[in-house]
Amino acid sequence: MDLKNQPVPEGSHLLEVDDLKMYFHTQDGVVKAVDGVSYNLDRGETLGVVGESGSGKSVTAMTIMGLIDMPPGKIEGGDVRYRGLSLFEMTEKQMQDIRGNDIAMVFQDPMTSLNPVYTIGRQLGEGLRLHRGYSKEQATKRAIELLDMVGIPNPEQRVKDYPHQFSGGMRQRVMIAMALACDPDILIADEPTTALDVTIQAQIIELMQEMQEKNGNAIIMITHDLGVVADVADKIMVMYAGRPVEFGTADEIFYNPVHPYTWGLVRSIPEALVDEKKPLTPIKGNPPSLVNVPKGCSFSPRCPYATDRCRNERPDTYTTETGHYSRCHYSMDPEFVAKNAPTNSRRRAEENGAADAVAGKGGEA
């Protein structure tokens, strides 16, 4: 069964995550690692998932891939549909066919994500041999093409090398080539640039975009750095304590954020403005324990604008007509937003299209 060649059924999206809840049952209690995440994704789109460590970004991705050990993990609700088919109803064998072939993943640390005992070529070819039944020779030939595609010089030679003979940036290129080997519909990149030098980060992001233009795959880019997704994401989901707190197009999140947590993230992006030196504004405090999420809004203990209502009453999802939603009691109050939203995000809105600097990386608006 090759799902990729089947059309997406009418009325569904390529990937639909619907109120997904993944809890871990541990000795200390129930960890609500993912608590009601929903989004849709179509081919060619890029979704940025942003949040601090432990906000449930990676667990969401691992749940979609079916890579969470159960127990201790347990899906407490919701569904993930790929081309209209529920991934949770698939057998392990069917999931094995989907992994790597339809949905592939790039991991955070390229230094440890390659098996040290096999050549680069053999590892690149593994997916092709698993999913496409390639022979060893065919796989090696394709591996050389893939290495060339991701910009590794001298691929005929390098295909025989071992991972320890590659630098971190090159290994991440290899990881991307590996993930793209079977031409997957969806590429999940879990903090693909976090372990890399800043100079390499931009290249890796660019490479992924380039590959996306060629193959038309969707990308889910998981990161803790709003700056990383600034240029590449079509939609951005900001997660906090296992829940999405704000979701919108990249423009909406950057130029018109309405959730105080997003404001905090925007304020903590370093800006490369030359003549203006101003300190970064950190978000004070730490994320809550996922065993004991605060009663009201989970961000209320750290939110400078929190009221008694925030502390006691869990906010609903407030959605605008464009689909931009936020989980904050006051996000629909224009006065509150206008007064407290970071000036840099509003200034960006005003200078929209000008050569502003998002995350010190510059970029087209």
Partner 1 sequence: MDKNTDMPIYAVDEKSGAQGGPVNQGSPEPETTAAAKPTRTLWSDAWGRLRKNKLAMIGAIWIIFIVIVALTCDLWAPQWLGSPTQIDSSQMSELSKLPPSAEHPFGTDALGRDVLCRVIYGSRISLSVGILATAISTVIGLVMGALAAYYGGIWDTIIMRLADIFLAFPYTLFVIVLIAVLGQSITNVFIAIGLLGWPSIARVFRSAILSVKENDYVDAARAMGASDARIVIRHIFPNSVASIVVYATMNIGGAILTESALSYLGMGVTPPTPSWGIMIEDGQTYLATQPWLMLFPGLAIITTVLAFTLLGDGLRDALDVKMKDA
The residue ranges that bind partner 1 (CB under 8 A) are 65, 67, 95-101, 104-105, 107-109, 111-118, 126-127, 130-131, 151-154, 157-158, 160-162, 164-170, 173, 175, 178, 194-200, 202-203, 206-207, 231, 272, 360-363
CB proximity list for 250: less than 8 A, separation 6 or greater: 48, 229, 230, 233, 234, 235, 236
Burial of 93 (0-12, 13-18, 19+ CB in 10 A): exposed
Cα(337)–Cα(328) distance, rounded to whole angstroms?
11
Whichever of 228 and 341 has its CB closer to partner 1, that residue is 228
Whichever of 16 and 102 has its CB closer to partner 1, that residue is 102
Minimum distance from residue 210 beta carbon to partner 1 (Å) = 8
Whichever of 6 and 157 has its CB closer to partner 1, that residue is 157
Minimum distance from residue 54 beta carbon to partner 1 (Å) = 18
Minimum distance from residue 288 beta carbon to partner 1 (Å) = 26
Asked if 315 and 327 touch (Cβ cutoff 8 Å), the reply is yes
The two counts, helices (H) then strands (E), for the chain are 13, 12
Among candidate residues 50, 59, 56, the one with its CA nearest the CA of residue 290: 56
Cα(39)–Cα(46) distance, rounded to whole angstroms?
12
| 31 alpha-carbon distance from chain centroid | 21
Whichever of 37 and 196 has its CB closer to partner 1, that residue is 196
- The H or E element containing residue 175 is helix 168-180
Whichever of 114 and 241 has its CB closer to partner 1, that residue is 114
Whichever of 111 and 320 has its CB closer to partner 1, that residue is 111
Minimum distance from residue 192 beta carbon to partner 1 (Å) = 12
Among candidate residues 183, 223, 177, the one with its CA nearest the CA of residue 103: 183
Angle (CA) 188-190-191 rounded to 5° is 135
Minimum distance from residue 15 beta carbon to partner 1 (Å) = 16
Minimum distance from residue 313 beta carbon to partner 1 (Å) = 39
Per DSSP, 315 falls in state -
Cα(6)–Cα(85) distance, rounded to whole angstroms?
11
Whichever of 36 and 151 has its CB closer to partner 1, that residue is 151
Asked if 208 and 229 touch (Cβ cutoff 8 Å), the reply is no
Minimum distance from residue 318 beta carbon to partner 1 (Å) = 33
Among candidate residues 87, 3, 82, the one with its CA nearest the CA of residue 42: 82
Whichever of 75 and 336 has its CB closer to partner 1, that residue is 75
Whichever of 131 and 302 has its CB closer to partner 1, that residue is 131
Minimum distance from residue 6 beta carbon to partner 1 (Å) = 18
Structure tokens given for 87:
């991934």
- The H or E element containing residue 216 is none
Cα(340)–Cα(185) distance, rounded to whole angstroms?
40
Identity at 71, one-letter amino acid code:
P
Minimum distance from residue 196 beta carbon to partner 1 (Å) = 6
